[in-house]
């Protein structure tokens, strides 16, 4: 009877630990959405670290299978439990970090070419991610918990393609700098600029 009670006690202790401990989730339903994407540019997603999310929302990052602490030591610390944390003052916008992340990370899915000003990567496992655009710069490093939205800051403001501010007067379909007109005449103007997030296709503008 004493043995049975001991077994019962152990079972109850195990159940108490199961139900009162922090639950941890490793999901595959995360998404990352890139806003202010540039049409025609390609976005590539790299996964740097795995992640688990506790019931309280806390995220713990760990090294992927086959990776070692030495490979990340320039930018991240790895404790004895295998948890990964960024070093203080880490700047993910440098070319050096971009080069490292491309070499260390694993490409997730296929690169996506923006057809609008939004690009979404879905069905992602929780993790620490790095996104690169074909504009040649790092967008961000982010995590899914479960969904993240980031802004592409690589795009440039509209630019003027000529030295006179892009402003012309249209006379008979031709652009000119000067013309004459009297009160009541309609004067047509042309303003030229190169816009971000705008492309021309064979079927028209988009």
Q: What value, to the nearest 5°, has the Cα angle with vertex 126 and ends 120 and 128?
A: 85
Q: Could you tell me the two tokens for 42?
A: 């390609």
pLDDT at residue 79 in the model:
94
SS3 51: strand
87 close to 77: Cβ distance less than 8 angstroms = yes
Query: 165 versus 200: which is more confidently predicted?
Result: 165
Spell out the domains of the chain, with CATH numbers in brackets. Answer: 24-151 (2.60.40), 167-205 (no CATH)
pLDDT at residue 3 tops 60: no
24 close to 54: Cβ distance less than 8 angstroms = yes
> CB within 8 A of 102, min separation 6: which ones?
46, 130, 132
34 close to 126: Cβ distance less than 8 angstroms = no
Q: What is the pLDDT of residues 43-97, one digit of tens each?
A: 999 999 998 877 777 788 999 999 999 999 999 999 998 999 999 998 888 889 9
- In the chain, the percentage of residues whose pLDDT exceeds 70 is 55
Average pLDDT over residues 102-106: 94
Q: What is the pLDDT of residues 143-167, one digit of tens each?
A: 666 677 776 666 545 555 666 555 6
Confidence of residue 30 (pLDDT cuts 50, 70, 90): confident
Q: What is the pLDDT of residues 174-199, one digit of tens each?
A: 677 676 666 766 666 666 655 555 44
Q: How far apart are the C-alpha atoms of 18 and 110, rounded to whole Å? A: 39
Q: How far apart are the C-alpha atoms of 124 and 147, rounded to whole Å? A: 9
pTM recorded for the entire structure? 0.62
Q: What is the sign of the dihedral through the CA atoms of 3, 7, 12 and 14?
A: positive
Q: Could you tell me the two tokens for 22?
A: 């922090």
């Amino acid at each position: 009877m004493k043995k049975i009670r001991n077994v019962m006690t152990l079972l109850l202790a195990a159940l108490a630990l199961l139900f009162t401990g922090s639950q941890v989730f490793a999901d595959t339903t995360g998404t990352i959405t890139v806003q202010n994407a540039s049409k025609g540019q390609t976005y590539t997603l790299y996964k740097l670290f795995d992640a688990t999310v506790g019931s309280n929302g806390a995220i713990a990052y760990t090294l992927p299978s086959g990776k070692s602490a030495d490979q990340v030591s320039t930018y991240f610390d790895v404790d004895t439990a295998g948890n990964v944390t960024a070093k203080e003052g880490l700047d993910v916008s440098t070319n050096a970090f971009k080069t490292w992340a491309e070499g260390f990370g694993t490409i997730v899915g296929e690169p996506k070419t923006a057809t609008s000003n939004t690009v979404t990567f879905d069905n992602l496992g929780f993790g620490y991610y790095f996104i690169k655009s074909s504009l040649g710069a790092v967008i961000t490093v982010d995590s899914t918990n479960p969904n993240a939205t980031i802004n592409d800051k690589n795009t440039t403001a509209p630019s003027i393609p000529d030295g006179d501010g892009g402003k012309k007067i249209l006379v008979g379909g031709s652009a000119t700098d000067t013309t004459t007109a009297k009160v009541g005449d309609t004067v047509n103007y042309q303003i030229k600029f190169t816009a971000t997030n705008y492309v021309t296709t064979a079927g028209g503008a988009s």
